Structure 1
Amino acid sequence: MIARLRVMKVRKVRKVLVLGLLGLTVLAGCGVAGVWAASGGFYGCTFRDEALAEELAAFAILDVRPPDAPKSGKRYSNCDEDDGFAAAGQYYEHTGPREELLAFYRATAAKDGWQPGRDRRDGLCFSKPYGTVTAHLSVWFPSSYGMEGEPRANAEEYGLEVTASHDGSAWC
């Protein structure tokens, strides 16, 4: 009889533990789903990412260029729906050697607090903290990707782009 009571108590305790864990799992899932839905939706960018893209467009580094590098087009800002990160950038044209341009941005970025990252196959990558996120600055050449623009004669188009995300998915 005592053994039977012990078995019943163990089963009761086990049942309470299983139901409690199940309840906590459901509550946690609702909390995560609520935060996810409130932050922007079902896929891609959140409202916070859209706002972050506008903030990135105001970064002063996007206006820094050598004297012989006029703007090529307007400043852009957007959010990458596939990867969920914010981006802003500006295209320029440059008539000198690439290495000269890259040296200019290595020095300029360092003065502005950007830390060098891995060099891209077509340019440079830097990063620095921005609020609660990490911003990434890239200097790149569209021609390296077969994206030919219409630059002036003897000029090459290049881009400056800053990316960041609240979930850490941004990169150069």
Structure 2
Amino acid sequence: MAYTLDAIDKKILEILQEDATIPNIELAEKVCLSPSPCSRRVKNLHEQGFIKRAVTLLEPQKVGLPVSVFIQVTLNHQVKKELQDFESVIAQWPEVMECYLMTGDFDYLLRVVVPNLQAYQEFLDKKLTELPGIDHIKSSFSLKQVRYRTELPLEQLLEQP
């Protein structure tokens, strides 16, 4: 049976997206519940898979990873085995922050973070271009991050019946 989010669940999720470290007592106050039911709801949201995990977001500049590169990768063949092989290798590389299987002119879009251009050159030479089955790689460097969100727009769900 599918679990349906109610207004309190949605409010809990909105608050936790902003600050996953909020104490349960404070969260309970914000959603007008006592602490025990609030804690049970958060636990249930974890168990139902609505909350994937709680993380701390780091500032890339401060930790020495200021260069973001978006890479379009086209494979020679779009067959299941080659797609799976590519994905399993990419998933192991710490520089790869995101990887999406795409429709359109290329197969994958990667977002990679590195400390500098030399590190990106090494990533290309020693990792990406060494993978079998790659037909084409196109890199674009981010000049400025205009918007970055981790919070999903749950207010849209509140408007739906």
TM-score by length of 1: 0.25
Of Structure 1 and Structure 2, the greater strand share is in 1
**The structure with more radius of gyration:** 1
Which one has more relative contact order, counting CA pairs under 8 Å at least 6 apart?
A: 2
